[in-house]
Copies of this chain bind each other. A is one copy, B any other.
Amino acid sequence: EDSYFGSYSHFGIHREMLQDKVRTDAYRDFMMSNKALFHGKIVLDVGCGTGILSMIAAQCGAKKVIGVDNSKVLYNAMEIVRENKLESTVTLIKGKIEDVHLPVQKVDIIISEWMGYFLLFESMLESVLFARDRWLSPGGKVFPDKFSIHVAAFDDEKMWKSHIGYWDDVYGFQMGCMKKAATAEAVIATVNSEAVLTDSCLVKTIDVESISEKELDFESDFQLKVLRTGSCAGLVGYFDVEFNGDNAKIAFSCSPSSTPTHWQQTVFFLPKPTITSQGDIIKGKIACKRNHRALEVDVTICSGLGKDYSLKYYVQ
């Protein structure tokens, strides 16, 4: 756990997150266009990092902003808040949200950028739910508030070969066991929108204001309509994010057809690319559960790809 929080004091990671314009613009645009929501309010920023969201909330009229983070970057955030003369509004606390004592009874709004790969990998969502249950006043709001996870099928023979087929012949050696192991490892990568073969299927929605921790593990059937004939290399998973403000709604998507984010997409390769024809329906089931630091994703496919598949993946 030390190394997890330690790694977030690598400054390059914070730069990459801040420079992800899709991500940071969405938070800023949401707050800037919903100033009435923040005016005079007490705001809690869970996992505040460099403090950027806390400072924007202060700029948008919050009476008091409390940022909490257990990474050493919090010490930098303290200096940043002073550099920007916001220390009378923004209070920063180093620690886990589960352990710290806030200098208020309750907060009016929780903001957090907790999302991980495939939304739920190494995410801080549990911490946000803890903060909601412990610190949010009745009728309080959490932003972003709504999330959805989607899957589609794609073809990209070259990508499949580079990641999976590669192990069939490594400098003349067979590495079949690596091929099997590599297939089970979900890959974080950017899938070309033109490689998408099917429509998308929504497999999970999360309303942060009401979901419970045990509902984070999910199981869902999916149906994907094949839009053109191609060689299916696997499934691509991604998530969408919504901020439903009173005044303006802001959303962004991590889908292959949207501007790439640092979350990219999550790829679940098939053991072997499989031809699928326009008009076919790929039917299956996806189950996702948290297991320590990894996400376990079970995918079964029961029609549309010529044969049945029952595959186990890890996002790690």
Question: Chain A residues in contact with chain B, CB under 8 A?
Answer: 3, 10-12, 14-15, 18-19, 24, 28, 50, 52, 55-56, 76, 79-80, 83-84, 162-163, 166-167, 170-171, 173-178, 181-182, 185, 187, 316
Given contacts A14-B178, A15-B163, A18-B166, 8 further A-B contacts (CB under 8 A): A11-B181, A19-B162, A19-B166, A52-B173, A55-B173, A76-B175, A80-B173, A83-B174
Residues in chain B near residue A84, CB distance under 8 A: 173-174
Partner of A79, one of B76, B177, B182: B177
Partner of A76, one of B14, B76, B173, B177: B177
User: A184 CA to B176 CA in the complex, in Å?
Assistant: 43
11 residue pairs from A and B, CB less than 8 Å apart: A10-B316, A11-B185, A12-B182, A12-B185, A14-B178, A18-B166, A19-B166, A50-B170, A50-B178, A79-B177, A80-B178
Main secondary structure of the interface of A (DSSP, over half): helix
A19 to B76, CA, bound (A): 38
In the complex the two chains form, is B80's CB within 8 Å of A177's CB? yes
CB distance from A132 to the nearest CB of B (A): 26
Complex alpha-carbon distance, A93 and B157, angstroms? 36
Q: Cβ of A170 and Cβ of B316 under 8 Å apart? A: no
A83-B176, A174-B83 known; A187 and B12 CB under 8 Å? yes
Complex Cα–Cα for A173 and B55 (A): 8
Q: Closest chain B residue to A86 by CB distance?
A: B173
